[in-house]
A and B are shown apart, each in its own frame.
Chain A
Amino acid sequence: MSWLSIVDLKKKYALEDMNVDALSGIDLEIEQGGFIVIVGRSGSGKTTLLRILAGLEQQTEGRIIFKGRVCDQEHPLPVGMVFQEPRLLPWLSVENNILFPFHPEDRAKDLHSKATGLLKMLGLEEYGNAMPHQLSGGMAQRVALGRALSCDPEIVLLDEPLGALDYFTRRALQRELVRIYLEGGKTFLMVTHDVGEALRLGTRVIVLKKGKIEASIPIGLEYPRDRHCETFQALLDEVLSALDDAE
């Protein structure tokens, strides 16, 4: 029995008088502790897939089975999610944003040490009392990552979390993501349109084409990855070619 199975997942949107297939039958087995990166062109359905896994949208057909149990609204996947924008609550301090997944009545003192630990891990130990508007884009996204990790989810969903950042912040956060992934032993499921990023981060790259899986490419490279090495270039070509075929 696999850890997380996505079985014949379909999603149709009603657009005026026609139905649009965002996902047309996704079958995917996800191994525990993997860093799965989903790439695809705009409109390929990658974000829709992630939103269904996060419980933000309901699939039209198909099932998500986690540890042998079918997930639904009553039994959602144990996820933490980072969106493309940080989406921090502007009226809460950085520390309280990180602790947002906990009910206010549960935010007892022992959670303060949890938040402090996360802030330290993210290099933001000085900013616990800062408000979101005082942070740079990269810092805010780190807080969003801390929020996703604070409730200790088994699966971390990342919806193009570095898409809005500049090159250098993006590279720095990619390295941090790898570090957190290697330290935490959680399963990461990330969506990106940047193939280089997918290869630098993922243990497996899934290529989506018009709502279907075009290719599933294991990346057997050690971290940190050298993008100039032959294997990296060969994998890059393979992913790009799968994407090209997807046209």
Chain B
Amino acid sequence: MKFEKENLLESGLILPVLLLFIWWAGSNAGWWNAFLLPSPEKVIDSFVLSIQNGELQKHVWASLERIIKGFGLSASIALSLALLCSWFPPLLVQLEPTLEFLRHIPPMSVIPMLILWFGIGEAPKIILIILATFFPVFMNALQGIRDCDPKLIEVATVFGYKKWHQFKLVILPSAIPSILTGLRLGLGYSWRSLVAAELVAASSGLGYMILDAEQLSRSDVVLMGIFVIGALGAFLDYGFLWAMKHYLKRGIEA
């Protein structure tokens, strides 16, 4: 019995279960207007219905496709640039003021310009994801490479490894945890920025689904969309974390 109690306390389930219960009880007792906060049953019904008619899968896939493209591109650019900058420091000196300026601009603020330049197609959404995810990936990768213990590099030097092998065998593996943290942060940012982009200009995707439901006064679908976004984001994050732990546990045996 004691063991079960401890399990419950450690599971982190108490708060969501409590909130769900209050939501369910309040909805059934009529504590608030059902339009402002529809009951859990209604949200579940709209979830089941949108799966049955294939709408949800369509929107989820549209959003995921944008994430894959945007985040994939962003991570490739950010990692390559971080490697180049660490390999050739004058490049970083040249880029730093520009990057520092760009880093402080909220990606959402450039949406009007992106629509003006690229229309309302896929390009502005992908670019928005790139803008939102570039910096966490780039900064973490760069920091990880910079933080490599110089004493370990000396070990490689003593055993005759030249610069390229020092980088490949010591600097890069030591930066892996930091690089993975950056990628994880970037993945979270990509999800948030995507939904914002789809709220502004899109004809598919979870953001669009929410906006469309708002215009049709379907607060149950809006809530359902929010839950799906949260669940998908958490699922991706857990998946990434699992892969990260699995990879680090195996060791980066070069």
Task: Determine how close the nearest CB of chain B comes to the CB of A152; give it in whole angstroms.
Answer: 12
Q: How far is the CA of A92 from the CA of B154 in the complex (A)?
A: 17
A101 touches B159 (CB 8 A): yes
Q: Which residues of B contact A33 (CB under 8 A)?
A: none
CB distance from B176 to the nearest CB of A (A): 7
Least CB distance, A114 to chain B, in whole angstroms: 15
- B158 near A100 with CB under 8 A, answer no
CB neighbours (8 Å) of B155 from chain A are 81, 83, 87, 89, 100
Which interface residue of B169, B173, B254 has the most chain A CB atoms within 10 A?
Answer: B254
Contact among B157, B158, B170 with A89 in the assembled complex (CB-CB below 8 Å): B170
Residue B12 at the A interface, CB < 8 A?
A: no
- B4 on interface, CB distance cutoff 8 Å: no
Q: In the complex, which residue of chain A has the Cβ closest to the Cβ of B169?
A: A104
* Residue contact B174 to A91, C-beta cutoff 8 Å: yes
Does A173 sit at the interface, judged by CB under 8 A? no
Chain A residue contacts of B159, Cβ below 8 A: 80, 100-101, 151
Q: Which of A55, A85, A131 contacts B157 (CB 8 A)?
A: A55
Q: Would B253 and A92 count as touching, CB distance under 8 A?
A: yes
Contact of A55 among B158, B170, B176, B251 (CB under 8 A): B158
Closest chain B CB from A232 CB (angstroms): 33
Is B165 interfacial (CB-CB < 8 Å)? yes
**Do residues A56 and B173 form an inter-chain contact, with CB atoms below 8 A?**
no
Chain A, Cβ-Cβ closest to B176: A91
Interface residues on chain A, size class: 20 to 34
What residues of A have a CB within 8 angstroms of the CB of B253 in the complex? 91-93, 96
Q: Is the CB of A54 within 8 A of B169?
A: no
Query: Do A92 and B165 contact each other (CB < 8 Å), given the known contacts A55-B158, A56-B158, A87-B151?
Result: no
Q: Restricting to B173-199, which residues have a CB under 8 Å from any CB of A?
A: 173-174, 176
Residue A79 is within 8 A (CB to CB) of chain B in the complex: yes
The answer, among A54, A76, A91, for a CB contact under 8 Å with B252, is: A91
Q: By the criterion of a CB under 8 Å from any partner CB, how many residues of chain B are at the interface?
A: 18
Query: With A55-B157, A131-B251 as given contacts, are A91 and B152 in contact (CB-CB < 8 Å)?
Result: no
Question: Please, what's the 1-or-0 string for B141-169, where 1 marks a CB less than 8 Å from any CB in chain A?
Answer: 00000000001101101111000010001
Interchain CA distance A100-B160 in the complex, whole Å: 11
B251 near A76 with CB under 8 A, answer no
Task: Name the residue in A54, A80, A89, A96 with the highest tally of chain B Cβ atoms < 10 Å from its Cβ.
Answer: A89
CB contacts (< 8 Å) of A76 on chain B: these are 160
Bound: A151/B160 CA distance, A: 11
Q: Bound complex: CA of A104 vs CA of B159, how far in Å? A: 13
Most buried by A among B152, B169, B176, B251: B251
Is there contact, CB below 8 Å, between B254 and A104? yes
Q: Once the chains bind, are A91 and B158 in contact (CB under 8 Å)?
A: no
Residue of B nearest to A101 (CB): B159
Question: Which residues of A sit under 8 angstroms from B170, Cβ to Cβ?
Answer: 89
Given A89-B173, A103-B165, also A81-B251 (CB < 8 A)? no
A151: shortest Cβ distance to chain B, in Å?
7
Which residues of chain B from 200 to 254 have a CB within 8 Å of any chain A CB?
251-254
Rank and list the top 10 A-B pairs by shortest CB-CB distance, nearest first: A101-B159, A91-B252, A81-B158, A104-B254, A87-B155, A91-B173, A54-B158, A87-B151, A91-B251, A56-B154
Add 18 more A-B contacts to A54-B158, A83-B155, A151-B159 (CB < 8 A): A56-B157, A56-B158, A76-B160, A80-B159, A83-B154, A89-B170, A91-B176, A91-B251, A91-B252, A91-B253, A92-B251, A92-B254, A93-B251, A96-B254, A100-B155, A101-B160, A103-B165, A104-B169
